[in-house]
């Protein structure tokens, strides 16, 4: 940073210890979760305004976390005495009243982290007359591994002459990018009239129940000269893909390159994505995480790395990072990361040999079935049908290898018999390595705690059943 901005740099750098939650100079144990957000999670009832005492239904929804969002903030660029533009919270809904000192301190940490993500470029700003509006998302990870989603729309506010952009940010426990993009459309429309018009709309939204997959919630909102509007917000039927838009991923990378990234992510390696636009970074990195379903990325996850935190690329642990292109040289200088296109071209890594060759071919063949101008839903279907069978065929027999000593006792996963049961040598070799990842370890831990009578739900289990029945039919035909 320039000398005139030293004060800002020192102040914002104090967030490093809290934001990262660990020392970059230390190597963490193999199975420790690396937080990437605020230091400590507050109970949900401390993160929202108190619910009215005489409304038990609202209190129940409030306690269960079924509000659409925790709060909305507006982050504006304010000129400091040194002449630099600093991001500051200029509007917050709902207001936080009646909090004790500790709660205020924790909220302050969260709000500072939000300003970092809304303007990750730091203080390198100047007034503008034109600015391309963009929507992106980020994740705040708590010390216990739980995550909150930040949805941000950055635009040039209504006015005349040169002016700095401002950002609207919604913090929510819910992951549904498309739904919150539509909410931003309504927020932006009201902001052009008056900041005061945002309040009643967000209040109505906060009081509405978050819809189940495939359902719609209707919000009433009044706008001067237009009267009362009915805003319909529909949640996608395939809820596990509702935070994802695969179009950007496949526009930026070829099918073969996507497969290499998938292989690296499955093995929990360090991956940095480089792009100019914030929206591209957030969409691509969330899409890659979705490819891992039904497993969950357990390590450092920062879809947009603020410039002040670029040192995170030196972390010795696995990570998924999104970095703006202007910081590429800093990434290369501070780590052993090579330019992604160079790596794809010269085959310097082993990503092509991680996945079983036959299953790689099946994924690529399935991806070729997509239409050139496919809708988000159509592309989501093609991609899920391409990648989900990979895990079905490699580890889908996991349930048969959890043993229990007695009723009500936790299960024990028999890893050796599990991978020994795989007929294909290349698949068995892959699974033996995959068993050592944290995402598989957590998946099995949750399975061991479940009781045998617990109903198996979700599309992954459905695909496993379909695949096993298909194999039975094929064996019956050979007899």
| 212 class by beta-carbon count within 10 Å (0-12 exposed, 13-18 middle, 19+ buried) | exposed
Neighbours of 66 (CB within 10 A): 15
pLDDT of residue 253: 94
> How confident is the model over 413-425, as a mean pLDDT?
93
CA separation, residue 3 to residues 7, 10, 124 (Å): 9, 11, 13
Q: Specify the residue for token string 């970059």.
A: 24
Give ranges for CATH 3.40.50.11500 in the chain.
246-359
Structure tokens at 182: 């539509």
* φ, ψ (nearest 5 deg) of residue 154: -110, 130
Most confident by average pLDDT, 119-123, 138-142, 234-238, 383-387: 383-387
Long-range contacts of 61-69 (CB under 8 A, 24+ apart): 61/209, 65/173, 66/209, 66/210, 67/172, 67/206, 67/210, 68/172, 68/174, 68/183, 68/205, 68/206, 68/208, 68/210, 69/170, 69/171, 69/172, 69/174, 69/202, 69/205, 69/206
313 touches 337 (CB < 8 A): yes
Q: Specify the residue for token string 């391309």.
A: 132
SS3 169: strand
pLDDT of residue 263: 96
Q: How far is CA 329 from the centre of its chain?
A: 25
| 110 or 102, greater pLDDT | 110
What's the mean pLDDT when you consider all of the chain? 78
> How confident is the model over 453-470, as a mean pLDDT?
79
Kindly indicate the confidence band of residue 249, based on its pLDDT and cuts at 50, 70 and 90: very high
Kindly indicate the confidence band of residue 167, based on its pLDDT and cuts at 50, 70 and 90: very high
Q: Is the peptide bond before 294 cis (omega within 30 degrees of 0)?
A: yes
Report which of 164, 162, 21, 159 is spatially closest to residue 84, judged by C-alpha positions. Answer: 164
pLDDT of residue 221: 84
Fold topology of 68-210: Beta-Lactamase (3.30.450)
Give ranges for CATH 3.30.450.200 in the chain.
68-210
> How confident is the model over 179-202, as a mean pLDDT?
85
Least confident of 262-266, 313-317, 390-394: 313-317
Please tell me the distance from the alpha carbon of residue 178 to that of residue 153, in angstroms, as a whole number.
13
Kindly indicate the confidence band of residue 372, based on its pLDDT and cuts at 50, 70 and 90: confident
pLDDT of residue 456: 56
> Does the pLDDT value for residue 448 go beyond 80?
yes
SS3 142: coil
Q: Which residues 6+ apart lie within 8 Å of 319 measured at CB?
A: 34, 270, 271, 272, 299, 300, 301, 302, 312, 313
| 373 class by beta-carbon count within 10 Å (0-12 exposed, 13-18 middle, 19+ buried) | exposed
Neighbours of 412 (CB within 10 A): 13
Kindly indicate the confidence band of residue 393, based on its pLDDT and cuts at 50, 70 and 90: very high
| 109 or 258, greater pLDDT | 258
DSSP string, 320-343: EEEEEGGGHHHHHHHSSPPPHHHH
> Does the pLDDT value for residue 35 go beyond 50?
no
> How confident is the model over 241-267, as a mean pLDDT?
92
Q: What percent of the chain has pLDDT over 70?
A: 79
Give rounded-to-5 percent helix, strand, coil for the chain: 45, 15, 35
Looking at the domain that runs over 246-359, which CATH code has it been given?
3.40.50.11500
**Tens digit of each residue's pLDDT (9 = 90 or more) over 56-84:** 344 333 333 467 888 899 999 988 887 78
**Tens digit of each residue's pLDDT (9 = 90 or more) over 267-316:** 999 999 999 999 999 999 999 999 999 999 989 889 999 988 899 999 88
Q: Is the peptide bond before 82 cis (omega within 30 degrees of 0)?
A: no
> How confident is the model over 320-333, as a mean pLDDT?
88
Q: Which residues 6+ apart lie within 8 Å of 8 measured at CB?
A: 1, 80, 82, 84, 86, 122, 123
């Amino acid at each position: 940073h320039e000398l005139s901005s030293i004060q800002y740099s020192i102040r914002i750098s104090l967030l490093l210890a809290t934001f990262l939650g660990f020392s970059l100079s230390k190597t963490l144990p193999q199975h420790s979760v690396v937080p990437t957000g605020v230091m400590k999670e507050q109970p949900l009832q401390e993160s929202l305004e108190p619910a009215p005492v005489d409304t038990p239904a609202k209190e129940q929804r409030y306690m269960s976390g079924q509000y659409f969002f925790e709060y909305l903030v507006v982050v504006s660029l304010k000129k400091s005495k040194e002449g630099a533009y600093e991001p500051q919270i200029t509007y917050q809904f709902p207001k936080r009243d009646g909090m004790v000192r500790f709660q205020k301190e924790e909220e302050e940490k969260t709000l500072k982290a939000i300003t970092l993500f809304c303007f990750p470029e730091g203080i390198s700003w100047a007034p503008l007359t034109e600015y391309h509006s963009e929507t992106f998302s980020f994740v705040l990870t708590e010390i216990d591994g739980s995550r909150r989603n930040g949805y941000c729309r950055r635009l040039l506010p209504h006015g005349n002459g040169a002016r700095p952009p401002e950002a609207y940010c919604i913090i929510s426990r819910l992951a549904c990018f498309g739904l919150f993009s539509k909410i931003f459309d309504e927020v932006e429309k009201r902001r052009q009239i008056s900041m005061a018009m945002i309040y009643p709309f967000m209040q109505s939204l906060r009081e509405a129940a978050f819809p189940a997959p495939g359902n719609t919630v209707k919000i009433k909102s009044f706008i001067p000269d237009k009267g009362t509007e009915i805003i319909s917000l529909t949640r996608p039927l395939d809820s596990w893909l509702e935070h994802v838009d695969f179009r950007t991923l496949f526009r930026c990378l070829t099918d073969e390159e996507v497969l290499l990234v998938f292989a690296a992510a499955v093995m929990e390696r360090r991956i940095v994505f480089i792009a100019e636009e914030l929206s591209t970074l957030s969409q691509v990195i969330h899409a890659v995480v979705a490819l891992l379903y039904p497993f969950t990325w357990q390590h450092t996850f920062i879809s947009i790395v603020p410039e002040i935190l670029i040192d995170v690329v030196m972390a010795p642990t696995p990570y998924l990072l999104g970095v703006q292109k202007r910081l590429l040289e800093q990434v290369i200088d501070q780590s052993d990361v090579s330019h992604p296109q160079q790596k794809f071209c010269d085959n310097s890594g082993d990503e092509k040999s991680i996945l079983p060759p036959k299953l790689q071919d099946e994924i690529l063949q399935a991806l070729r079935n997509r239409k050139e101008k496919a809708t988000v839903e159509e592309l989501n279907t093609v991609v899920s049908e391409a990648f989900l069978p990979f895990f079905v065929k490699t580890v889908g027999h996991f349930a048969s290898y959890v043993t229990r000593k007695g009723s009500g006792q936790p299960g024990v996963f028999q890893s050796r018999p599990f991978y020994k049961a795989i007929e294909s040598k290349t698949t068995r070799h892959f699974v033996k390595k995959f068993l050592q990842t944290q995402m598989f370890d957590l998946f099995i831990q949750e399975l061991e705690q479940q009781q045998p009578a617990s109903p198996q739900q979700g599309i992954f289990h459905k695909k496993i059943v379909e695949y096993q029945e298909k194999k039975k039919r094929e064996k019956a035909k050979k007899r």
